[in-house]
Chains A and B, each alone.
Chain A
Amino acid sequence: MTEISKFIVGFLVLQGAFLSLAAAIGVLRLPDPYTRNHAASKSATLGVLSLLLGVFLYFWLLKGEINSKIILGIIFVFITSPVAGHLIMRAAYNIGIPLWKHSVQDDLKEKKRKESRE
């Protein structure tokens, strides 16, 4: 029982760490701020969620205590991290950061031009 619990916890923590690494590689390599935010705000959130789930299972299965602080942390990160990504990217679009030069479609630009004409 202890060995199986250790295997599950180790797997979850290692998966979270590799997802964080994937997010960081995406932030390094992608071409413009919008795609970088797409990598960072999704992958980093899932990575840290998996990591925190591993820690919760560690304290539950191996130490025998249910720790509600980690559950609160999981819920909070899950709710607020995409909201933070949305706010940054809306600010970035409104101050005029250009898209990647190979982007093909920008519907929001048409809408903003129409609004400014009225």
Chain B
Amino acid sequence: MFEWVMGLSLVIVAISTLMYFYRLVKGPTVPDRIISLDAIGINLIGITAIFSIVMNTDAFLEVILLLGVLAFIGTVAFSKFLEKGEIIENDRDK
């Protein structure tokens, strides 16, 4: 029963990742695509967490933290690029 529930949750999270992927391909504006990429990163955290229960090991738990940091940094860089046109500004008087 427990393994069955874990498998069902894995399938549900995979389906929701597919829905985000549809929005990533079709989405009419650029912020839509950034939102869905960010949410795919968040869903990958969840998939890794369920997978570490299924495999019954704690070896993948660093991956959770790492994916969280990387998704946040990527989103911040994208939104700064959209807003100001460059990610790291060099001029002081801008």
Contact = CB atoms under 8 A, between A and B. Distances in A.
Contact of B62 (A52, A69, A94): A69
Interface string A17-34: 110110111011000010
B83 to A, nearest CB: 4
A23 B32 CA distance: 14
Contacts of A59: 58
A48 B43 contact: yes
Contacts of B8: 14, 17
Contacts of A76: 65, 68-69, 72
B90 interface: no
Q: Is the interface of A mostly helix, strand, loop or mixed?
A: helix
Interface string B54-65: 000010011011
A118 B32 CA distance: 33
* Interface bracket on B: 35 or more
Contacts of B19: 24-25, 27-28
Interface in B54-86: 58, 61-62, 64-65, 68-69, 71-72, 75-76, 78-80, 82-83
> How many interface residues does chain A have, given as a range?
35 or more
A84 B75 contact: yes
Contacts of B5: 10, 13-14
Given A51-B50, A65-B58, A88 B13 contact: no
Interface of A: 6, 9-10, 13-14, 16-18, 20-21, 23-25, 27-28, 33, 36-37, 40-41, 44-45, 47-48, 51-52, 54-55, 58-59, 63, 65, 67, 69-70, 72-73, 76-77, 80-81, 83-85, 87-92, 94-95, 97
